[in-house]
Amino acid sequence: MIIGGILKHYCEYCGTKLNHKITALEKRDQYEYNASDFYMIVECMGCTSLSYRTQKEDYEEWDYDDSGHQVPTTSIERYPNVLAKHQIPENLHVVPERINTIYHECIKSFAAECLILTAAGFRALIEEVCKDRGIRGDDLSKKINKLRDNRFISPSEATRLHSIRFLGNDSIHELAVPTKIALNTVLKIIDNLLTNMYILEYEAKRDLITAVTDIRSLLKVIDLNIRQLIIGNSYTLKGLMGTDLRLITEDVKAYDRLLQNAITEGKFPKLKFHFVPKDDNPNEQTTYYTIVSNKSDDF
Ligand SMILES: [Zn+2]
């Protein structure tokens, strides 16, 4: 190994293993044992970014490379740590700040191979998503079922989450050391969860909806919003619309009636409705809409 020499190294910016040039190098031989440590700064020959690499070579324990040649047993450490082959979902900034913070801490901790901390972080992240969606309780396993029942995750994703035992332990003292394969599965499910629950909704609204001008555009907004609400719970029109209520620029009550007509005529079977007399004036009523289904297919 020499300054100016070329080696294969993972580039976090190019997202793959590429040729890197050694730009700085220090070698230390071990005392009374045939092994050497190489400390180096390497430059990506694709994007010119720099990273740090330690390569430890043991000349007393031999190994074979892909072409069957004998090579010294080698271990590699690098900085910054990266999760090779993992892409952080685009537009992650739209997820609630606390979830976003936990996510990034999990990625750093996983890249640094702190597997127990990563597992605890993933668990905290799933708990936080449940809290954000109004799913309460102490038992993570029941909360995973509620995520599934409300179609935030698919039944097969829920089964995979359940099968990962360390996530089901309610006491941190019982946390088993998880494998990287299991953590990769959880990360994939979490990436899907955040994409389905927050990012796609954000992109759909940004790209599709500018204002509610008729029953069709109203149903489109409600269809997007109820995916984040709980099946069986009842909401007023305001509750269904959330901050999107501002998209209705005309008489809100008129849209309340339009929505009731659409449900009565069977045009929007994902909701049913009932009336409740107002506390301060029993002659007037508030309409509550109960979520029957919040599947993401088109109505
Ligand atoms: Zn690069």
Indicate the pTM of the whole model.
0.62
Alpha carbon of 56 to ligand 1 centroid (Å): 23
Q: Of 268, 166, 262, 177, which is closest to residue 226 (Cα–Cα)?
A: 268
Same domain, 186 and 219: no
Alpha carbon of 47 to ligand 1 centroid (Å): 4
Alpha carbon of 79 to ligand 1 centroid (Å): 14
Alpha carbon of 85 to ligand 1 centroid (Å): 13
Alpha carbon of 18 to ligand 1 centroid (Å): 7
- Does residue 49 sit within a domain? yes
Contacts 24+ apart (CB under 8 A), 162-166: 166/119
Alpha carbon of 29 to ligand 1 centroid (Å): 30
DSSP-derived pairing of the beta strands 285-291 and 234-235: antiparallel
Amino acid in position 145: N
The gap from C-alpha 88 to its chain's centroid, in whole angstroms, comes to: 8
Alpha carbon of 45 to ligand 1 centroid (Å): 7
Alpha carbon of 99 to ligand 1 centroid (Å): 29
Same domain, 160 and 192: yes
Same domain, 62 and 113: no
According to the model, what pLDDT value does residue 168 have?
Answer: 65
Token duo for residue 202: 């954000």
The gap from C-alpha 259 to its chain's centroid, in whole angstroms, comes to: 33
- Does residue 40 sit within a domain? yes
Same domain, 164 and 199: yes
Range of the domain at 38: 6-79
Same domain, 134 and 199: yes
The gap from C-alpha 223 to its chain's centroid, in whole angstroms, comes to: 22
Same domain, 106 and 187: yes
Find the length of the chain: 299
Domain boundary among 79, 100, 117: 79
Amino acid in position 188: K
The gap from C-alpha 220 to its chain's centroid, in whole angstroms, comes to: 25
Within the chain, which residues score under 50 in pLDDT?
Answer: 299
Same domain, 101 and 178: yes
Residue with tokens 């599947």: 295
Alpha carbon of 87 to ligand 1 centroid (Å): 15
- Does residue 298 sit within a domain? no
Amino acid in position 202: Y
> Using DSSP, how many helices (H) and how many strands (E) does the chain show?
10, 8
Domain boundary among 79, 100, 135: 79
Question: Which residues, other chains included, contact 183 with Cβ-Cβ below 8 Å and sequence gap of 6+?
Answer: 110, 115, 118, 119, 122
According to the model, what pLDDT value does residue 205 have?
Answer: 72
pLDDT by residue (tens digit) across 28-51? 998 889 999 999 999 999 999 999
Same domain, 66 and 11: yes
Same domain, 226 and 174: no
Same domain, 11 and 39: yes
- Does residue 199 sit within a domain? yes
Alpha carbon of 51 to ligand 1 centroid (Å): 10
Cis before 80? omega within 30:
yes
How many CB atoms lie under 10 A from the CB of residue 22?
19
How many folded domains does the chain comprise? 3
Same domain, 127 and 196: yes
Alpha carbon of 214 to ligand 1 centroid (Å): 50
Alpha carbon of 104 to ligand 1 centroid (Å): 21
Alpha carbon of 55 to ligand 1 centroid (Å): 19
Alpha carbon of 16 to ligand 1 centroid (Å): 8
Domain boundary among 148, 170, 205: 205
Same domain, 219 and 194: no
- Does residue 299 sit within a domain? no
- Does residue 68 sit within a domain? yes
Alpha carbon of 185 to ligand 1 centroid (Å): 26
Question: Which residues, other chains included, contact 249 with Cβ-Cβ below 8 Å and sequence gap of 6+?
Answer: 211, 212
Alpha carbon of 275 to ligand 1 centroid (Å): 61
- Does residue 1 sit within a domain? no
According to the model, what pLDDT value does residue 169 have?
Answer: 67
Alpha carbon of 3 to ligand 1 centroid (Å): 19
According to the model, what pLDDT value does residue 2 have?
Answer: 92
- Does residue 66 sit within a domain? yes
According to the model, what pLDDT value does residue 174 have?
Answer: 65
